[in-house]
Amino acid sequence: MIKSDKEYEILAELICELTRNCNIKEEFFAASFNLSPTEVRFLKLFAFAPSYTIKEICDALKLTPGRITHILDTLEEKKLLARIPDENDKRNIIVKLLPKATPLIQNLHQNYNKLHKDILKTVKGEEMEKIYSSLQILVDVFKKWVDEK
């Protein structure tokens, strides 16, 4: 159990180190698809649903509408996504995958899972369970903190 400021400092540094290494991994992965890490996170959403509203994307990625617009512009130039006015409410825009993007999304999803399997291949049984449990706790704690802000 953490009791001292020094132990919190060590924990904070471990989280920062994990974040730095995750960023390096994300950049490496994105570059292999000629995308930015943000474009990959954006496109990975479409592995779970064929379309989203701008608001849903903003909420999921915790990005501003302006940043979403910039990402959409680049992905539209690459002919991966299209913005479609909502037939029921013209104020809303629906973002949909274009047919060219479907194999890319499947490939992204498969390769992303493979990359993590490769990274974690030396972790066995009980250690993997500890990692999973600890990461779930960290995600929940940080998500709660973000939601309060």
C-alpha–C-alpha distance, residues 130 and 111, integer Å: 24
Domain boundaries, the chain: 5-148
Tell me if the domain spanning 5-148 has CATH number 1.10.10.10: yes
Q: Is the dihedral of CA 67, 68, 69, 73 positive or negative?
A: positive
In the block, residue with structure tokens 């950049």:
27
List pLDDT tens digits, range 65-85: 899 999 999 999 999 999 999
Token pair recorded at residue 27: 């950049």
The letter for the amino acid at 63 is: L
**How does residue 12 score in pLDDT terms, banded at 50, 70 and 90?**
very high
What pTM was estimated for this model as a whole?
0.78
List pLDDT tens digits, range 110-127: 999 999 999 999 999 999
Q: What percent of the chain has pLDDT over 70?
A: 99
- Phi, psi dihedral angles at 138 (to 5 degrees): -60, -45
**Does residue 2 register a pLDDT over 80?**
no
Q: How many CB atoms lie within 10 A of CB 112?
A: 17
* Bridge partners, 53 (sequence order): 94
Question: What pLDDT score was predicted for residue 83?
Answer: 94
